[in-house]
Structure 1
Amino acid sequence: MSKSLLLSLETSSPVCSVALHRVADGSLVGQSELRLDKSHSTHLTILIEQLLANTGHQLADLAAVAVSDGPGSYTGLRIGGAAAKGLCFALDIPLIAVSTLQALTAQVAAGTARPESWLYCPMLDARRTEVYAALYMPDGQEVLAPTPLLLDADTLAEQLAHHSVLFFGHGAAKFQALLGEQPNAGFLAGIEPSAISVGQLGVAAFHRQQFQDVAYYEPFYLKEVYTTTPKVK
């Protein structure tokens, strides 16, 4: 049974999530998550070890690792990317990068009645009135590439004039407050990124052999990271 599983990691949000899928048929073997802010650096490795132990597997059973690629939390993405690269180096297995926004869309579309009726707009909070967002068809086809959006009442007005758009993710509430009444807009609350959807897309990428260069892989941060230098006292 060696090399039969794909491990997926989702660390782009405050939820730290890991999952195992069978690469042969994409079936879910198990998943574990921790909804504890800033827990990724101390708990990600523990979650992986516990998930493998609880499902009766070991690291030698992994055929590949899929990681949530971003956008999202800079620190979270960096931790997930480093863990994925370390495992792939040590086990000599492929690394797969899965768009965080595309995985979130797949997660929502799978549970939506008449999914073909909507365009899907995942929104992740980027602080103040900004979000990381994209637009997808129900099958995951990209309509608007992931981008930082400054929100106001006219954001995505052209798309909303011609399509029903479903908004979700922890940045969507900010847009709902600004948008007001809009008959073509739907909003879902409580949707968080999950390693399960990362793994589902990761299995498909595995069969297409869409792998990253482990040595040079960097997460898709989307924006430059701004740091400040502490003032000298």
Structure 2
Amino acid sequence: MSKSLLLSLETSSPVCSVALHRMADGSLVGQSELRLDKSHSTHLTILIEQLLENTSHQLADLAAVAVSDGPGSYTGLRIGAAAAKGLCFALDIPLVAVSTLKALAAQVANGTARPENHLFCPMLDARRQEVYAAIYTHDGQEMLAPTPLILDPDTLTEQLARHPILFFGNGAAKFQAVLGEHSNAGFLAGIEPSAIAVGHLGVAAFHRQELQDVAYYEPFYLKEVYTTTPKNSRIAPLG
């Protein structure tokens, strides 16, 4: 069965996750993940190979690759993008990019009873008192575009005044500590990005022909990445 599958990659967080979905109906074929910090560079390719072998498929069966687009870990996103682009180049197949935050929101909405009664706010840790966040309706409509938020007691007060909101992701606990009790705020623990959710949205995006230019694709980092020179690497004066 040639070129009938979507391979999805999720590397935006400490979880390294891959999944296969059928293009025809979006059904899940299989998934595999590792919850080991900094495992992406050494384990992503192995996870892909093992998933294909365990599901009795091969690279030739892939119709496209979907990758978690960010925001998230700079290093993780670069590893996922490089792997996705390499596969697409080698197999001459399309690349689909899926918002990390939108996929995480869909993941939670699909498992929530009466999801129409809530808004969904994924929060990914951006260090210190900052998170990457967005707000979506249960059916994926964007109410707040992905943005870096500095957390304080007044963060998202307007949205919380109008709607019950579920917060989740590895940055949500920081917001819960700052916000305290709020009648419209609910917090879910243990929610991590998954390639399954990336794949579900990726199949739909593929059928809408929302494809990336493989040569020029870069992840959505949301913020500039700053690097500093270590103090012990100062250049000695000439002469």
Aligned pairs (5 A) from 1:2-81: 2-81=2-81
2:174: which partner in 1? 174
Take 1:95 and 1:182, find their aligned partners in 2: how far apart are those partners? 41
Mapping of residues 182-197 of structure 1, within 5 Å: 182-197=182-197
Q: TM-score, normalised by structure 1?
A: 0.99
Q: Tell me, in whole angstroms, the C-alpha distance in 1 between the residues paired with 2:196 and 2:162.
A: 32
State how far apart, in whole Å, the 1-side matches of 2:87 and 2:168 are: 32
Name structure 1 gaps, 5 residues minimum: none
Moved over 4 A (4+): none
Amino acid at match of 2:220: F
Number of residues paired by the alignment?
233
Q: Given the alignment of the two structures, is residue 225 of structure 1 paired with residue 225 of structure 2, yes or no?
A: yes
Equivalence map 1:27-176=2 (5 Å): 27-176=27-176
- Residue type of the alignment partner of 2:193: P
CA RMSD of aligned residues (A): 0.6
Q: Any unmatched runs of 5+ in structure 2?
A: 235-239
1: distance between equivalents of 2:224 and 2:188? 29
Using the alignment, how far apart are the partners of 1:184 and 1:130 within structure 2? 21
- Residue aligned with 2:30, SS: strand
Matched, 1:216 2:216: yes
Query: Rg bigger for which structure?
Result: 2
**Equivalent residues in 2 for 1:191-210, closer than 5 Å:** 191-210=191-210
SS in 2 for 1:29: strand
Amino acid at match of 1:10: E
CA distance in structure 1 between the aligned counterparts of 2:126 and 2:167, rounded to whole angstroms: 15
Taking every aligned residue pair, what percent have the same amino acid on both sides? 86
Give CA deviations for 1:34-56 in whole Å, capped at 9, x if unaligned: 00000000000000000000000
Q: Deviations over 1:122-152 (max 9, x none)?
A: 0000000000000101100000000000000
| TM-superposed deviation, 1:118 | 0.5
Give distance in 2, aligned partners of 1:129 and 1:15. 22
What SS is found at the alignment partner of 1:71?
Answer: coil
Could you tell me which amino acid in structure 2 is paired with residue 135 of structure 1? I
CA distance in 1 between counterparts of 2:208 and 2:162 reads 34
